[in-house]
Structure 1
Amino acid sequence: MRAGSVDRTNNFDLLRLAAATQVLLTHGAHHLKLATPAWWPILESLPGVPIFFVISGFLVSDSYERSRSLGNYLGKRAIRIYPALWCCIVATVVVAALHGFDFLHWPALGWFVAQCVGLIYTPDFLRDFGFGSYNGALWTIPIELQFYVVLPILYAVARRIGGERAVMVGAFVGFLALAVGLRLALDGPEGPVEKLIRYSFLPHFFLFLAGLLLRQAGVQRSHWIAGRGLWWLAAYLLAMNLLPGGDLLHFASRLLLAVAVVALAFSAPALSDRVLRGQDFSYGIYIYHGLMMNLLIEQGLMGSVAAYALLILLSSAAGVASWFAVERPLLRRKSRPAGIAIEASEKTAW
Structure 2
Amino acid sequence: MKRRNNFDFLRLFAASLVVIGHGYALMGTVPPMLLYTPISTFGVIIFFSISGYLIAGSWEREPHPYNFFAKRALRLFPALFVVVLLTAFVLGPVVSDLPPRAYFADSLTYHYLANLRLFIQYSLPGVFKTNPLPNAVNGSLWSLPVEFCSYMMVPMIGLLLLRWRVLAFGALAALFASASVYLVHFRADHRFTFYAMDLRSGTAMVAYFAAGAVIWHARRTIPLNIIAALVATALYVGLSRLSIAAAQFPIATANAFLLAYVVITIGESQNLRLPDAGKYGDFSYGLYLYAFPVEQVLAEHLYGRTGQWPLIGLAFTVSIVLAILSWHFVEKHAMALKPTTRRTVPSTPQSATN
What band does the TM-score fall into relative to the shorter chain? 0.7 to 0.9
Q: Which residue of 2 aligns with 1:322?
A: 326
User: What CA distance in whole angstroms lies between the structure 2 residues aligned with 1:262 and 1:348?
Assistant: 15
Q: Which residue of 1 aligns with 2:255?
A: 253
User: What CA distance in whole angstroms lies between the structure 1 residues aligned with 2:293 and 2:29?
Assistant: 18
User: What CA distance in whole angstroms lies between the structure 1 residues aligned with 2:35 and 2:167?
Assistant: 36
- More off after superposition, 170-179 vs 269-278: 269-278
User: What CA distance in whole angstroms lies between the structure 2 residues aligned with 1:191 and 1:55?
Assistant: 26
Q: Which residue of 2 aligns with 1:3?
A: none
Aligned length: 330
Q: Which residue of 1 aligns with 2:299?
A: 297
Q: Which residue of 1 aligns with 2:310?
A: 306
User: What CA distance in whole angstroms lies between the structure 1 residues aligned with 2:75 and 2:332?
Assistant: 9
Q: Which of 114, 139, 144 is equivalent to 2:142?
A: 139
Q: Which of 19, 23, 29 is equivalent to 1:28?
A: 23
| Offset of residue 208 of structure 1 | 1.0
| Offset of residue 8 of structure 1 | 3.1
Q: CA contact under 8 A between 1:51 and 1:261: conserved in structure 2? A: yes
Q: Which residue of 2 aligns with 1:225?
A: 224
Q: State the AA in 2 paired with 1:190.
A: R
Q: Which residue of 2 aligns with 1:56?
A: 51
- More off after superposition, 8-17 vs 99-108: 99-108
Deviation sequence 1:66-120 (CA, Å, 0-9, x none): 2362111111001100111111112212112112355423624642431111111
Q: Which of 93, 98, 101 is equivalent to 2:94?
A: 98
User: What CA distance in whole angstroms lies between the structure 2 residues aligned with 1:191 and 1:70?
Assistant: 30
User: What CA distance in whole angstroms lies between the structure 1 residues aligned with 2:303 and 2:323?
Assistant: 21
SS at match of 2:119: coil
Q: Which residue of 1 aligns with 2:11?
A: 16
Q: State the AA in 2 paired with 1:153.
A: M
Q: Which residue of 2 aligns with 1:340?
A: none
Q: CA contact under 8 A between 1:229 and 1:261: conserved in structure 2? A: no
Tell me whether 1:156 sits opposite 2:159 in the alignment: yes
Q: CA contact under 8 A between 1:285 and 1:315: conserved in structure 2? A: yes
- More off after superposition, 270-279 vs 180-189: 270-279
Q: State the AA in 2 paired with 1:41.
A: M
Aligned residue runs from structure 1 range 191-230, under 5 A: 196-198=197-199, 201-218=202-219, 224-228=223-227
User: What CA distance in whole angstroms lies between the structure 1 residues aligned with 2:64 and 2:314?
Assistant: 44
SS at match of 2:336: helix
| Offset of residue 14 of structure 1 | 0.8
Name structure 1 gaps, 5 residues minimum. Answer: 1-6, 338-342
| Offset of residue 256 of structure 1 | 1.7
Q: CA contact under 8 A between 1:10 and 1:269: conserved in structure 2? A: no
Deviation sequence 1:218-252 (CA, Å, 0-9, x none): 16x85x523447625752674378x3446365553
Q: State the AA in 2 paired with 1:183.
A: V
Q: CA contact under 8 A between 1:60 and 1:345: conserved in structure 2? A: no
| Offset of residue 301 of structure 1 | 4.9
CA RMSD in angstroms, aligned pairs only = 3.4
Deviation sequence 1:253-276 (CA, Å, 0-9, x none): 333211110111122467356454
SS at match of 1:187: coil
Q: CA contact under 8 A between 2:208 and 2:260: conserved in structure 1? A: yes
SS at match of 1:347: coil
Q: Which residue of 1 aligns with 2:74?
A: 79
Q: Which of 318, 332, 336 is equivalent to 1:332?
A: 336
Q: Which of 330, 347, 353 is equivalent to 1:348?
A: 353
TM-score by length of 1: 0.80
Q: CA contact under 8 A between 1:26 and 1:44: conserved in structure 2? A: no
Q: CA contact under 8 A between 1:227 and 1:266: conserved in structure 2? A: no
- More off after superposition, 67-76 vs 47-56: 67-76
| Offset of residue 202 of structure 1 | 3.8
Q: CA contact under 8 A between 1:228 and 1:267: conserved in structure 2? A: no
Q: Which residue of 1 aligns with 2:345?
A: none
Q: CA contact under 8 A between 2:119 and 2:195: conserved in structure 1? A: no
Q: CA contact under 8 A between 1:76 and 1:346: conserved in structure 2? A: no
| Offset of residue 65 of structure 1 | 2.2
Go from structure 1 to structure 2 and tell me whether the alpha carbon gap of 1:165 and 1:319 turns closer, same or farther (over 3 Å shift).
same
- More off after superposition, 22-31 vs 189-198: 189-198
Q: Which residue of 2 aligns with 1:169?
A: 170
User: What CA distance in whole angstroms lies between the structure 1 residues aligned with 2:332 and 2:195?
Assistant: 37
Q: Which residue of 2 aligns with 1:118?
A: 118
- More off after superposition, 134-143 vs 59-68: 59-68
Identity across aligned pairs (percent)? 24
TM-score by length of 2: 0.79
Go from structure 1 to structure 2 and tell me whether the alpha carbon gap of 1:72 and 1:319 turns closer, same or farther (over 3 Å shift).
same
Go from structure 1 to structure 2 and tell me whether the alpha carbon gap of 1:137 and 1:32 turns closer, same or farther (over 3 Å shift).
same
